[in-house]
Structure 1
Amino acid sequence: GDVCTGVFMDMFLAIAIIFGGLIFLYVIFAEEVRSERRMDSHVDATVARLFQDEEAAFNGTNGNEHRPFFVEFVEENQKRHILPVKKTVYNKLNIGDYGRLRYNGFRFIDFSKEGEVIENLPVSRFGTHKAWVNIMYGCDKFCTYCIVPYTRGKERSRLVEDILSEIEELKGKGFKEITLLGQNVNAYGKDLKEPANFAMLLKSVAETKIERIRFTTSHPWDFSDEMIEIIASYDNIMPYIHLPVQSGNSDMLKIMGRRYSIDEYKTLFGKLKERIADCAFSTDIIVGFPNETDEQFKQTLEIVEHCQFDNAFTFIYSPREGTPAAQMADNVPKDVKKKRLAQLNAKVAQYALKNNQAYIGRTVEVLVDGPSKKNPEIYSGYTRTQKLVNFKADGVISGDLVNVTITDCKTWFLIGEKA
């Protein structure tokens, strides 16, 4: 990505690294700033994290004459601008220029203007056949354990025409697969003036006839029947869905702020399984959330047995400062969390292997990523259902779509030969 560095008015050094559309911001405050803090102002705010593990804390700048510049600096990052070297006079700006200060009961969130998406920023592509395409930013769900709404702001959708223009450009450059990206793609379009939703967008993207379309991430609450029909109706929309469940217990889901019961999740999963042929599924699961009992964890194992996911991203709960869950007692012992995670991973692996074994003897389409570094006769790529395949072949290159006969499998990948 692009890297900008600069000394900003002798006040602090900032390095902004733009990678895949995400900005990691490191801010080192000079002693000059700390010495000029004044505690007599009516404004006292901590600007939220710009990324989960990197805190840009402008705490204690209340009343400081340089505060408006800090606000502008953070807003620039929230908008995903490449950060410029500022030459603005400090007192030219005021907090009123940057919208209202929002507070969620635990922390101040941001000063950024809402509803803006900046287009035409440079994008670094790492590869020639697959690309990520952001369709929206932010999240309005406010799951109790998640810091994202406080760091990324409210949901902001790109215009349909801008998204389609980017995809047509990628297609013209030879890209075969795009992934539509958002914290919750199913909520796309709710903030736009012109009527739009994710099903409409997905249909329009499919009609560009780019060869492969994926999307992530989907919140079960917003997964409509219209979306299911669009996915089932277009061959270039891949039959692979990442559908986070987080827990198998409805009481836990309620405390997590997930907005659905486990029965509602099962109903949605059943619709998807029935309507979309040969569909593969992955999910996210948290273990050891505050107050999780053995019985509630057992129900999480049961949802894995019910859905038989192809993959799962599993996590031990750890509190994120500034989230409602961080105010709860983290009362599940570490050793219990680790034991539950091991049990969960074993259950997930059981069904991952079972699902992979069903591919043996089948011939599947694979988008080639490239040759093995250790053996140039072995290539790797992914099936339509997002299965990794290692296969023998010659005369293929990255970006080729080839048919591969599956001869064997492991828990997390398939083995085959070019048909």
Structure 2
Amino acid sequence: MKSFVSVPENSDFPIQNLPYGIFSTQEKSERRVGVAIGEYVLDLGMIKQYYPNKYHDALTANVLNSLMALGYDAWKEIRQITQNLLQEGSALHTNSNLKDTALIPLALVQMHLPANIGDYTDFYSSIHHATNVGIMFRGNDNALMPNWKHLPVGYHGRASSVVVSNTPIRRPLGQTLPVDGADPVFGPCRLFDFELEMAFFVGGPPTQLGERVTVDDAAKRVFGFVLMNDWSARDIQKWEYQPLGPFTAKNLGTTISPWVVTVAALEPFKVDNFPQKPTPFPYLYHEQHFNFDIKLEVDIKPAKGVATTVCRSNYRNLYWTALQQIAHHTVTGCNLNPGDLMASGTISGDTADSFGSMLELSWRGTKAIPLLGGESRKFLQDNDEVVVRGYCRNDDFKIGFGTCSGIVLPAMTL
């Protein structure tokens, strides 16, 4: 395929990608559905006449929930029409007036949250991350909890504090226990951290309470993926998490990238699922490949310094697949809605430079991570910017996610 839109070399957004997002411009403040192509956004509402009437409401909405709700067959048809329209010699290519108004430079748009997120679940699906954290807090002999290889561990997060990339995140206040056995203190978090994650949006019609989604049907429920940074207050988390798990240490903000990359775009980069032993229960077992070679990187950029890549990991390091996450989430009959967000948990590899959090990179604060320019970090400091990138690449093209970034603001004054 060759688009009539110029796509720079190494662009995240060739015609083989076409991720969805919600954007606005200074001239037109209404939020609308767009597709990224090269250095442009294609306004799908402007060209709705090229799509069947049954899709028009979804293409002219101000969030992606209606598009997500259409389901797998509709996603496939809409994507095919969009690819055809963007190829050389298409009806859109030859309609000069419409082409010029429907294609808007990326530099002129503001991106927004892709969907109204009703529910957000965060899993704990990287075996390397879970093992590292277990060794730190429980020792080598008891690194993984007894349930970890039998089910995808997760918890329900706070959907209202999920924000789009470039939204500043304020250092939280909270209770901590600086000295074991002493009284807790209240004040700004001292051990502020990022977590390298990815997440997917649930699609298809809503399910009913009591209805399961089987592991075999789950693939048609994954609309697309985004990058995620699950900001974490480690010292607050340590004091508050027992016995019910993460609370205020995690609800302070979760950043996602604005572009939703579809499963169809990721198909050329499927790889074997992570080997699982013991064999999961039948409701979790699947032979279908649903793992992807997505290269992931995290940069830290101090306020007066240059960016340093502190982590290089890969989505393929996840032990539990998105299909297993959906199947386990709904095995009790929990209902799903289009726009629900499900996150992977921290994605760490098996080498020290692939650890997906400062907790691991600094090994619980026992060593400093050097940054370019002479600075170093054990945990994040005020005014640090954290930038997450993700992409797949083969000999022909690159499928990218853009960036997922946020700057740490100082804590509110007491």
TM-score with structure 2 setting the length = 0.24
Between Structure 1 and Structure 2, which shows a larger proportion of helix residues? 1
Structure with the greater relative contact order (CA < 8 A, sep ≥ 6): 1 or 2?
2
Between Structure 1 and Structure 2, which shows a larger proportion of strand residues? 2
TM-score with structure 1 setting the length = 0.24
